[in-house]
Amino acid sequence: MSSRALTALALLAAVQLAGCSAFRSYDTELKETNQQLTAGNIVGALATLEKNNTSADKDLLYYFEKGELLRAKGDLDGSQAAWHSADRVIYTWEESVKLDADKYLAQFGSFLVNDKVRRYEGYDYEKVMLTTQMALNLLARNDFDGARTEIKKTHEREAVIAELRDKEYLKSEQEAQRQGVTTQFKDLQGYPVASLDAPEVVNLKNSYQSAFSHYLSGFVYEALGEKGLAAPGYRKAVELRPNTPLLEDALKKLDADAGKNGDSEVLLVVQSGFAPARDSVRVPLPLPISGNLVITPLSFPVIRADSSTPSFDQVSLNGKPLNLTLLNSTTDMSRRALRDDMPGIIVRTTVRAISRGVAQKKLNEVNPLAGLAVGIASAITEGADTRTWRTLPDRTLVARIRLPQGQHQVVLPNALGGSQVQFKIDKPYQVVAVRALGNQVYADGQIAQVIPTNAPQAIAVAK
């Protein structure tokens, strides 16, 4: 091939990469979607999601986000349909892992492919939280049997993830030794190491098991009269978040009679904020390229916590203060996932940069212009993967109360607009779920309804 043709081909590749959909700014897209959601414009948020996903072949993230948006809208059927599509994608992933985990790890661990152009398969905590959110949709209709199915799927999914990650982390360590990569994330100058070393991150058992998911499973099994299955759920929740009275009391009171004097066991679930964003930062690293030590800027992912919604741990129930217990932080889980993944990310990024540097040096010796074009293409493709499920709730807080059947009212803090939510209790066990975003509050529309602030106060008074 002639020198001029080689140069043209390299420049064309650079231009195509610049416009490739694989290099879309996912965080930028979802910022617009989330801003509309916090403003109460769910229709606009859904329209933005569709505008940014025009391909007929929708990816996992599309179904993640659409399910959460439709849930906020109160369209539980549409939400479940979207999440069932996401669940089928994850099921396919599970089957490939079960069939041949080593083959899957070999493909995923390829050093030649930038992480952000890989097919998005979801982070482990997203896979687990998907079935948890699907269970909440079903519980909004008092479908405890359906929720039980999703909970069982959650436990099975956790087992697949646990086995795979054990193999992956061992393989990553072995590959680092083979490639001679000794860099750890703590060695990255200018990287926010403290965010991954925070106690609330390090103290998590792993990145995918949620105390809320297991507590919810215990509550569902208890409601179905399966106390033998409820106890392990509560015990696992205690293990994941020790020294939490709410969780410890669930075990102690498991044998107590529910529905005494006509009262119901009610689990109030308040989810707030958005899952954190993933950003890309460049860190200079000295790399051995063709016998020389070259300072090369490499990109690594960082977690940016959402600040759209004020934190709170108390609401008003029927005019009285009610304390909430934090059982899940998606920000902490996301940081733990990144902390666990960083050794593999460092190995892949480093080896890819060295290989690219060697290839570019050889090309420069033959055709400097072609080498420059490849360098431009490399600059375009260089960057950490910033895709993640952004509409997923960040904080999940709960309170368990015994209430008489009838109408009740929850009022959220003034920082959230003092929104009022009215709900009806008519079963021995019920789950009431509320979502707070900015100063907007969303409810499932089945058991719970948000009372407009301009409505007469008498409407929201508990009976």
Q: What is the DSSP string of 116-163?
A: GGSPP---HHHHHHHHHHHHHHHHTTT-HHHHHHHHHHHHHHHHHHHH
Pairing label, strands 263-274, 429-437:
parallel
Pairing label, strands 420-425, 406-411:
antiparallel
Q: Is the confidence at residue 117, as pLDDT, over 90? A: no
Q: Cα Rg for the chain, rounded, in angstroms?
A: 25
Q: Are 330 and 210 in contact (CB under 8 A)?
A: no
> Across residues 195-219, what is the average pLDDT?
96
pLDDT at 110: 57
Q: Residue 165 and residue 22: Cα distance in Å, rounded?
A: 26
pLDDT at 36: 94
Q: Is the confidence at residue 247, as pLDDT, over 70? A: yes
Taking all residues of the chain, what is their mean pLDDT, rounded to a whole number? 86
> Across residues 244-258, what is the average pLDDT?
85
Tokens (6 digits) for 48: 């933005």
Q: Are 275 and 334 in contact (CB under 8 A)?
A: yes
> Across residues 9-31, what is the average pLDDT?
59
> Across residues 396-408, what is the average pLDDT?
96
404, β-bridge pairs: 263
Under DSSP, the state recorded for 244 is: -
Q: Are 364 and 357 in contact (CB under 8 A)?
A: no
Q: Residue 268 and residue 401: Cα distance in Å, rounded?
A: 8
Q: Residue 84 and residue 70: Cα distance in Å, rounded?
A: 13
Q: Is the confidence at residue 73, as pLDDT, over 50? A: yes
> Across residues 450-457, what is the average pLDDT?
63
Q: Residue 131 and residue 209: Cα distance in Å, rounded?
A: 12
Q: Are 86 and 64 in contact (CB under 8 A)?
A: yes
What is the band of 167 on the pLDDT scale with cuts at 50, 70, 90?
confident
Highest mean pLDDT: which range of 207-211, 345-349, 415-419: 207-211
**3-class SS of residue 327:** strand
Those residues whose C-beta lies under 8 Å from the C-beta of residue 55, and which sit 6 or more positions away, are 21
Q: Residue 438 and residue 35: Cα distance in Å, rounded?
A: 9
pLDDT at 199: 96
Q: Are 353 and 378 in contact (CB under 8 A)?
A: no
pLDDT at 174: 82
277-320 pLDDT, tens digit each: 999 998 888 877 777 777 788 889 999 999 999 999 999 999 99
Q: Residue 40 and residue 442: Cα distance in Å, rounded?
A: 9
| Secondary element (H or E) of residue 19 | helix 3-19
Q: Are 393 and 273 in contact (CB under 8 A)?
A: yes
Closest by CA position to 355, among listed 302, 298, 284: 298
Q: Where are the domains of the chain?
A: 3-460
What is the band of 6 on the pLDDT scale with cuts at 50, 70, 90?
very low
Q: Residue 294 and residue 297: Cα distance in Å, rounded?
A: 10
Q: Is the dihedral of CA 44, 47, 52, 57 positive or negative?
A: positive
pLDDT at 187: 84
pTM confidence score = 0.88
pLDDT at 17: 46
pLDDT at 295: 79
Q: Residue 75 and residue 412: Cα distance in Å, rounded?
A: 23
Measuring CA to CA, how many Å separate 235 from each of 193, 229, 303? Answer: 32, 10, 30
416-447 pLDDT, tens digit each: 778 999 999 999 999 999 999 988 999 988 89
What's the CATH code, domain 3-460?
1.25.40.10
Torsion of CA 109, 110, 111, 116, to 10 degrees: -80
Q: Are 153 and 94 in contact (CB under 8 A)?
A: no
Q: Is the confidence at residue 344, as pLDDT, over 70? A: yes
What is the band of 171 on the pLDDT scale with cuts at 50, 70, 90?
confident
Under DSSP, the state recorded for 353 is: H
pLDDT at 98: 86
pLDDT at 370: 59
pLDDT at 203: 95
Question: Angle at the Cα of 197 (from 335 to 158), degrees rounded to 5?
Answer: 40
**3-class SS of residue 431:** strand
pLDDT at 255: 75
pLDDT at 379: 59
Question: CB neighbours (10 Å) of residue 295?
Answer: 8
Tokens (6 digits) for 133: 């959110």
Closest by CA position to 7, among listed 369, 268, 429: 369
